[in-house]
Structure 1
């Protein structure tokens, strides 16, 4: 396990406190509706590690997560923290936080009118979609390694763009083969009923994970993904992040 960086000089201006007491009953009800819409499908189609992580970090269906409580359970397992931030971070601050095992987490929640999709990440996407996977030791080490490599590449736009594809096809739109089936683990799939349905119904081409192909695979954020890359284990992406470091640094 890589050593954890405690200083966040670039990200520090974006760090905030979550005032959990300020969430309204309607917001908690919106969270409950979002979770209840996703869990039946995820119980069948999410990877085992996501479902286990959901339980380990104590997420609940009826209330918006209190990040301090989440971190009390997550930290001892993998030394990761869901760290509240004010919104979008510049790339250097984002990678600095990942390298420090601090996941930038927004604290606002989408409105009831935007249950299916919001263009900006909210606490549902960030915590429900991402954080359960941070309880898995190998995935946790992969994500830190990814942040370290990208932080070192921050001034090389072309190489950073290639690393962004590794993030997209794992952290955001990752799928894994388990028990002879395709299961989802990427947050963009976990948190979106429409995106998940598209995968479950056989929409995208599912290729075996190949680092060279992933680094070269272009994608559009604005449409359903035509190609996804299935791993056999999370050790595969951990090794891929180290191989990317050798190739790009």
Structure 2
């Protein structure tokens, strides 16, 4: 049985025990079918409401609707563009390992796929959330630079309060970010990209959701609710805006 391994030229310390190999040949036809159904369910909405950078990245990294992604192949297409890799890990990482990997442009990617009984929601990220939701944005140079810098900033912080505040910046950008594109709200955060319910709330402006202009001070103070649909989102005007916001947050909190 062939095993796909991704090279790790950067020496990791905190993350090293969590690095694994993706056994792509070991996925079953049922698991490929689940991936296919998830992708085909999401794409019609995303073609209309995802930002242009996400849709471009989806094609640039070679994602396919009919089979689970081979992380080696994804990284071979991604790395020449922005230096990022989609690196397989065993599961949820502690903070120091997570930030270390981001700082090295290695996105920690789980390799398991949810069951058919959990198609709508899974409490822990799976390969659909990680690759379909996150990785296309890593093909965008400014977003790629922002994410690396974010990892470096967080890796250097020692205050629990500062880390919590920086976590809010991640939540309202990388996970639940929206952007104004030609006057329309488009989604780019992985939690919106990979979740039909969360994205529909944005698209249909369901009552109770407030979309505010991005404001770093407000974002750093906004409480995160991981158990319910989002009540507040912050719309950026460009990806340069969140890169600069990370630098500003570093100056404030570091």
Q: How does 1:117-128 map to 2 (within 5 A)?
A: 117-128=121-132
SS in 2 for 1:104: strand
Aligned counterpart in structure 2 of residue 164 of structure 1, from 162, 167, 180: 167
Task: Give the Cα–Cα distance (whole angstroms) in 2 for the partners of residues 49 and 96 of structure 1.
Answer: 25
Q: How does 1:54-93 map to 2 (within 5 A)?
A: 54-93=58-97
Task: Give the Cα–Cα distance (whole angstroms) in 1 for the partners of residues 204 and 224 of structure 2.
Answer: 20
Aligned counterpart in structure 2 of residue 238 of structure 1, from 243, 246, 251: 243
Q: Quote the offset at 1:200 in angstroms.
A: 1.0
Task: Give the Cα–Cα distance (whole angstroms) in 2 for the partners of residues 117 and 161 of structure 1.
Answer: 25
Q: Quote the offset at 1:202 in angstroms.
A: 1.0
Corresponding residue number in structure 2 for 1:178: 181
Task: Give the Cα–Cα distance (whole angstroms) in 1 for the partners of residues 211 and 203 of structure 2.
Answer: 11
Corresponding residue number in structure 2 for 1:99: 103
Deviations 1:179-213 (A, max 9, x none): 11100000000000000011111131111001111
Aligned-pair RMSD on alpha carbons? 1.1
Deviations 1:203-226 (A, max 9, x none): 311110011110011121001111
Corresponding residue number in structure 2 for 1:145: 149
> TM-score w.r.t. structure 1 length?
0.97
Aligned counterpart in structure 2 of residue 48 of structure 1, from 29, 42, 52: 52
SS in 2 for 1:120: coil
Aligned length: 245
Task: Give the Cα–Cα distance (whole angstroms) in 2 for the partners of residues 19 and 88 of structure 1.
Answer: 18
> TM-score w.r.t. structure 2 length?
0.95
Unaligned runs of 5+ in 2: 1-8
Task: Give the Cα–Cα distance (whole angstroms) in 2 for the partners of residues 120 and 166 of structure 1.
Answer: 20
Structure 1 runs of 4+ aligned residues shifted over 4 Å read none
Q: Confirm or deny that 1:112 pairs with 2:125.
A: no
